[in-house]
Amino acid sequence: MGRSNPSIAALSFFLVFFPITCFKLGKCNSIFCPQIEKQSLLSFKHSLQDPYHQLSSWDDGDVNCCKWNGVVCNNSTGHVHQLHLRGFGLSLRGQINSSLLNLKHLTHLDLSLNNFKQTIPSFFGSFTKLELFNLSFAGFHGVIPHNIGNLSYLRTLDVAGFPNIVPAGHNNYYHSRNLAGYPDMEFAAHVSFPNLLQVDNLEWLSRLSELENLNMNFVNLSRATDWVQVINTLPSLQQLRFQNCSLGYISPLSYINITSLTLLDISSNNFHSTEVPKWIFGLQNLQFLDLRNNTFIGPIPANSNATKLKYIDLSFNFLNSTVPSWLHSCIDLEFIVLDFNFLTGAVPAGFTNLCKTRRLSLSNNNFQGNMSNLFGNMSECFLEALEVLDLQFNKISGQLIDQLGEFKSLEYLNLNKNLLTGPIPASMGKLSSLKVLALGGNKLTQNLPHSLGQLCNLKWIFIFDNKLEGVVTETHFANLTKLDVFSASDNRLSLNVSQSWIPPFQLIALGLGSWSLGAGSKIPSWLETQKNLTDYLDLADTGISGIVPSWFWNTRILNLSHNQLHGEIPDVRGAVQFIYLSSNKLEGTLPRVGDAL
């Protein structure tokens, strides 16, 4: 046998050993995609508009498409395995070229957040090796093709449509609604958008036996009346999102096959006059449950196996029971949202023993009980964790207790429209993280504590419609540098600040109706410093006199009624919506606005 050529031996060693070594070290870029796959990607690119140059690295002169933005190749074969082309809202546009069919080894295809404006191509059903398929918010419309059911290796399918968007100009701090006393603080339960995507049935889903994550938010599923039975055939399913899908029926289940489910969101559908199905609370691994805005009726089920819950939202329904004991026994609960129902009885004291709860929202119900019974014996961990406490529009009575000042992380406290009496405790000044304090519409008395002036993170204060009395001074506002809204009308308070006072804040809304504003009853000079005060200004029944400053007429909601103001009313146009001017000495024609009284 002849001696081997050293050069050939060295080359063989290099070809065998080097690729394995450099891949393990992650230091080589020697893998090249096949020419047919490169050309397929270029054909795909040329059929699209790319205004944000997302595909700028896809260059015909570059022989290696594995280095292109969004392209991931297999380390051994060079075949394109993944396309991550998530856009920036409306990035890629145009028609998707069927040249992609040459990418026969795709396992991940993400075309989300683009604007293709076409039906979902039926050839997508030929990518039979796909494990992740994301077409969410990508501009697709029409019927989702049944052959998506051919993608038997799919673990994630996301075809979500348009999201629920709060209209411009509406604040939505921690999803709060209707902070009464500031007339524009009314927030819609949901906003409807057209369902551009739809299905004629969901039977094809049952062929996706490996599916773990399914998101069809904002897809019209109204024709899929058997959707519960179909979903129950997917034993690997962990997350199901069917928000705002026009579902009208939710059937019972005799047995539960989706035992792996950890997230269930079927919010904002049309389950009219239907009780909450008991099978939902038989899901033992459930951690996230969103049933809001479904007009469910009847009780919250009295029994549950969903002991691992971390998040539950049952708001905007017609539930009319007491809170079952199992709910405040779920020790992992972080978010509890039961707003806008007809729930009754006392707020369970068991909630205050939970150690991980960050949000407790029970507003707009018929809860009763005394503050000292509810919050007189809170656990230390509850005091540490809670960030949002919302009990507005209930029938909670008694006095605010000193223990409310012991919360370490509380940012939002809303007790508007209850039956509270007595003083605001000075201990509230210790809530250093507080951003919203809402105590309006109660029967609170005595002085406003000076300690509130130390809440340097406070943005909104609502103390309207109480029986507070006494003098408010500059000390009450000393450190309120972030204050946006001060709604305190309909009390018996007086303002006593120096003529040269410059507030530390810039308000967008101010309510001082029924206050005494100091000697001379002139319009306070410090108001001139408030350059952002264009949303809401209430100085009704404060005894002020003089000519209305010209900038007042730019305020969207303006109440100057029951004063001694004089001068002519200008021809008000623009953003102004409501003006209340009755019982003054004003002259001129009525302003041309949406509503003038």
C-alpha span between 363 and 391 (Å, rounded): 4
Q: pTM of the full predicted structure?
A: 0.88
DSSP 369-419: EEHHHHHTT--HHHHHH--EEE--SSEEEEEPPGGGGG-SS--EEE--SSE
Q: What is the pLDDT of residue 351?
A: 96
Q: Provide the strand spans (E) within 63-149.
A: 71-73, 80-84, 93-94, 108-110, 132-134, 142-143
Predicted confidence pLDDT, tens digits, the chain (597 residues): 444 454 444 434 433 433 333 333 333 456 899 999 999 999 999 999 999 999 999 998 888 999 999 999 999 999 999 999 999 776 899 999 999 999 999 999 999 999 998 999 999 999 999 999 999 999 999 999 999 999 999 999 999 986 544 333 333 333 333 444 433 333 333 444 456 899 999 999 999 999 999 999 999 999 999 999 999 999 999 999 999 999 999 999 999 999 999 999 999 998 977 999 999 999 999 999 999 999 999 999 999 999 999 999 999 999 999 999 999 999 999 999 999 999 999 999 999 999 999 999 999 999 999 999 999 899 999 999 999 999 999 999 999 999 999 999 999 999 999 999 999 999 999 999 999 999 999 999 999 999 999 999 999 999 999 999 999 999 999 999 999 999 999 999 999 999 899 999 999 999 999 999 865 678 999 999 999 999 999 999 999 999 999 999 989 999 999 999 999 988 877 667 899 999 999 988 776 655 555
| Cβ neighbours of residue 518 closer than 8 Å, sequence gap 6 or more | 494, 495, 496, 497, 524
Spell out the domain ranges in the chain: 30-159, 450-597
**450-597: what CATH class?**
alpha beta
C-alpha span between 21 and 18 (Å, rounded): 5
C-alpha span between 562 and 56 (Å, rounded): 65
CATH architecture entry for 30-159? Alpha-Beta Horseshoe (3.80)
C-alpha span between 165 and 113 (Å, rounded): 15
Environment class of residue 532 by beta-carbon count within 10 Å: exposed (0-12), middle (13-18) or buried (19+)?
Answer: exposed
Q: What is the pLDDT of residue 43?
A: 97
Please name the residue that has the structure tokens 């201990």: 427
Q: How far is CA 304 from CA 229, 308, 324, 327, 328, in A?
A: 21, 10, 9, 8, 12
Q: What is the pLDDT of residue 195?
A: 67
C-alpha span between 296 and 272 (Å, rounded): 6
C-alpha span between 517 and 331 (Å, rounded): 50
Long-range CB contacts (within 8 A, 24+) of 581-584: 584/560
| Cβ neighbours of residue 21 closer than 8 Å, sequence gap 6 or more | none
CATH topology of 30-159 equal to that of 450-597?
Answer: yes
Please name the residue that has the structure tokens 């699209």: 48
